[in-house]
Amino acid sequence: MTRSLKKGGCHCGAVAWEAETDDDVVIDECNCSMCQMVGFLHLIVPKSKFRLLKGENQLTEYRFNTGVAKHYFCKICGVKSFYVPRSNPDGYSLNLRCMDGSQFSNIDIRPFDGQHWEANADILAHLSKDDG
Ligand SMILES: [Zn+2]
C-alpha cells in the first residue's frame, strides 16, 4: 500500500494542514447529530501523521456531550476541516470534503452508525494507532 502527504484546509485558506495517509482509503460517513449537520467525511489518522501548517489562532473549539471530542472550526469561514474525535482521542479525523480527491488513488465511503456510538466505536479505535 502506498502512502503520501496530503494537503487539506478550510474554505478561506486561513487553516491549512498536511497528513501522511494511504493513497487508497476507507472513509467513514457518520450519522451522529454533529456529523450529519456538517456533512463530515472521516479520514482518521494518528496524531504523529498530522501537521497543522497554519491557522492555529484561527481555530475555535466546540465541545458537547462527553466533552472528549474537540470540534475545531475556522473562525473566519466556519469550516470544520479536522478535529479530535471521541473515538480516537489519540488521533485526528480529517474531513475528506476539505481535501482535493485527486490526491488519492481510491476512495471507499462506508456508513458508520454514530447514532449508536457506544455499540460501534471500537471498530474505529485502531485507525489512530501508529503502524510504523
Ligand atoms: Zn477558514
Q: 14 C-alpha to center of ligand 1: Å?
A: 5
Report the Cα 57 to chain-centroid distance in Å: 19
Residue 19 lies in a domain: no
Residue 130, pLDDT score: 84
Domain region containing 113: 37-128
Residue 99, pLDDT score: 98
Please report which helix (H) or strand (E) contains residue 72, including its range: strand 70-74
Q: 95 C-alpha to center of ligand 1: Å?
A: 14
Residue ranges of the alpha helices (H) in 28-116?
A: 33-38
Residue 119, pLDDT score: 87
Yes or no: say if 113 and 120 are a contact pair by the CB < 8 Å rule: yes
Cα 95 to Cα 52: distance, rounded to the nearest angstrom: 14
Q: 89 C-alpha to center of ligand 1: Å?
A: 23
Predicted TM-score (pTM) of the model is: 0.93
Q: 11 C-alpha to center of ligand 1: Å?
A: 5
Which CATH number goes with the domain that contains 120? 2.170.150.70
Residue 95 lies in a domain: yes
Q: Tens of pLDDT along the chain (132 residues)?
A: 799 999 999 999 999 999 999 999 999 999 999 999 999 999 999 999 999 999 999 999 999 999 999 999 999 999 999 999 999 999 999 999 999 999 999 999 999 999 998 889 888 999 999 874
Q: 64 C-alpha to center of ligand 1: Å?
A: 22
Q: 96 C-alpha to center of ligand 1: Å?
A: 16
Residue 72 lies in a domain: yes
Q: 75 C-alpha to center of ligand 1: Å?
A: 7
Residue 39, pLDDT score: 95
Residue position matching grid coordinates 489562532: 57
First-to-last CA distance in the chain? 13
Residue 106 lies in a domain: yes
Q: 84 C-alpha to center of ligand 1: Å?
A: 18
Q: How many domains, the chain? A: 1
Residue 21 lies in a domain: no
Residue 41 lies in a domain: yes
Q: 66 C-alpha to center of ligand 1: Å?
A: 26
Yes or no: say if 96 and 80 are a contact pair by the CB < 8 Å rule: no
Residue 47 lies in a domain: yes
Question: What's phi and psi for 84, nearest 5 deg?
Answer: -95, 110
Provide the 3-class DSSP secondary structure of residue 64.
Answer: coil
Residue 32 lies in a domain: no
Residue 118, pLDDT score: 87
